[in-house]
Each structure stands twice: as structure tokens, then as C-alpha cells.
Structure 1
Amino acid sequence: MSAAVTVGLLFFLSAGLNEQVAEGCKCLPRHPQQVFCESDIVIRAKLIGSVTSTHPDLVAFNIKLITKYKPSNKKDIRVIYSTKTSCGAVLNNGEYLLSGSVTDGVIVFGLCDFMWPWDQLSSVQKGNLNMYQRGCVCEIASCTGASCLTKKLQRKCLIGVNNSLGVVYEEALQSVCLPCRDGFCRWRKMIGN
């Protein structure tokens, strides 16, 4: 093989590998209620700074717990972790809404979890946090066109994509999917303070 062909093949292989690595760090768009319900823990905390990690593959952050939305136990949390990989999270000191999973007894968060600066959340978003738990029995799903008109959706709230007939994503962000007495789940628009 000529040197030019070898260099060309190496370029395309490395470009493909870089794309796969980049793909591994992408998160599918999800409604905040989905992130809340799928998380083991959701908290409002003040990040104080990084600390020495007792887990070699994780970065440790010292926090002051302000509010625990999920789970409702009273256990105090002082340290949270993020992975050291390129998909790990980087945070500055300040107040955040954080979510994550509990793995081997430690709280780990990443790019696909809540890592929202608290002061950037609207009053509606803050209020919705108190409602999301009630809606975890419901499923939030995307729909397009005629699939948004389906009547047999007892436990689903639909988000229309591509200008379909369902609730559009921007409107859904200001809403919570909650169960009703009839067993159906429906969007409820929340009103800010």
C-alpha cells in the first residue's frame, strides 16, 4: 500500500473513532420529569469545592445539602462524585440542582443528569420539582403526526416533535405529567410564583 493510502485510511479510522467517542457523551433529550423519575437521587446543593476522592476513577465534590427532592430519607450528603472520563461533569462553586445514581453506596452524576445552576431555573421549574414525584407512575413519550392522536394512552403523556399535534416540547417543559382519577395521565401546566 502506498503511504498516501495508509495515511488516508488512518485519517478516516481516527475520525470514525473520534465520532464514536463523541457519540458516547451525547444525551438524548428528555423531559426534566423523566430525568427526575429515572434518577436515584435529586438534590439542591451548594458546591463548596473538589476534595480528595476515595475512588480512583471518580472526582469528588464537597457539597452542602440544601434540599433533598428524592429520596425523601433524612440521610445527610456531604460528598458527590463524577466520572473522570470525558463524559464526566465539571462544576464551579455555587448552588445547583443535581441528580444522579447511587453506585456502590456513592452518589455519581454525569452529563445526562441534572447539573443546573439553581439561579438559572424559573419559578415554574423550581415548583415542578415538588410535583414530579407524583407523576413517576406516568410515562412521557414522543409522538409525530397521527400517533399524537392515539386515545389508548392511559399512562402516557405525549410530546409532539416535528410540529405534530401533541404538546410541543417547549410547552411540556412548563408542565408536569400527572395521573388523574380516571387512571389516565395528562399534562398539567404549572403556574409560576
Structure 2
Amino acid sequence: MRSRLLDAAVELFKAQGLAGVAVADIAAAAGAFPSQITYYFRTKEALFVEAACREVLYVARQAEASAAQALTGSDYNRRLVETVIGSPGLALFVEALSLTRRRQDLAPLTERTFDRLHSQGDRAYAETKAQHGWSGGDDPATTARRFWTLALGVALRDGATGATGQEAIDEMLALLRHSGAGPRAAHSQGEN
């Protein structure tokens, strides 16, 4: 039941945001009772943060799978960025981070999510680097942390300014190029 509630909630939250969804809506979509949300999650906000964290990890897995097929560093970056930037899962996670500033009891879940994003990104990048024989650049752990920091910043800024998805993608790719690190810099020797 817990998983069904999360599945139903994430779809509603992606479509309507936290404020636009009532507990009764989530329960109805999951074929559950509103009291089951309270039982499993205590509050709608706690359910939202957990759903957002789960969704951004799903987006990260999709990005890793897409980027693993890249033959060059620039294609690796492009695939990562196009999968992550503009995804509803990233937008939900940005909203969850904002919520946890007011609800510190929910912060441990976002902290664990950051740990997983960074460690899984580190692992995926290191594996792709080794698979293609790419060398140079920052270590994979630094690269993964930088990527997610930039992605969240771009999502926050562009969400507030109403930038298009393509503008956000272009901005993120430019930031990765100008950071002097990341997959592109690390892969530049493999692209020659």
C-alpha cells in the first residue's frame, strides 16, 4: 500500500504541485483511505518529500542509462543534461528542498537522497570513464557533486524566470563547459 500511495502521489504532484493536491485525491488515486496516508507518512508534506526524493533518484537512473551510451564527453554531458533538466522529478525535488527549510524533520530524507545522487553519479561516471578509456578532469565524486549542484541551481533559476526547457539545457551545458571540469573536460582526450 505504501508503494501504491507513493506512485499515485508522485503523478499527482508532478501534474499539480504540492499545493494543488489534497490528501483525499491521493487516497482516491491509490484506491486507499486518507487515514492510510497519515498512517504511512504522517503528513502530506512528508509524503511529498519522499515522493520527490524517489522521483529524482529515478530521473538520475534514467540519465545514467542514457549517458552510458555516449561515445564522447560532450555527448555524455548532453545526454545527462537533456534527461535531467526540465524533468518533473527535478522540479519536485527543488520544491521538496524548499519545503525542508521550513520542516527540518523532513531534512534527513533529502540528505540521504543527496548522498545517493552523489554516490550513484560517482559510480556511473567512473564506470563510463573506465569503459571508454577516458582520462583527466576532476575525480568522479567531485564531478557528480558539481553536476547535481548545477542542475538544481539551473532548475531553481529557470523555474523562477520561466525559461524554456531548451534555454535551461543550453545554460546547463554552458555551465559544465565553463566549469573547467566534469565529463567534457575529463573526456576531451578520448574525443581526439
TM-score w.r.t. length of structure 1? 0.26
Q: Which protein is richer in strand relative to its size?
A: 1
Larger Rg: 1
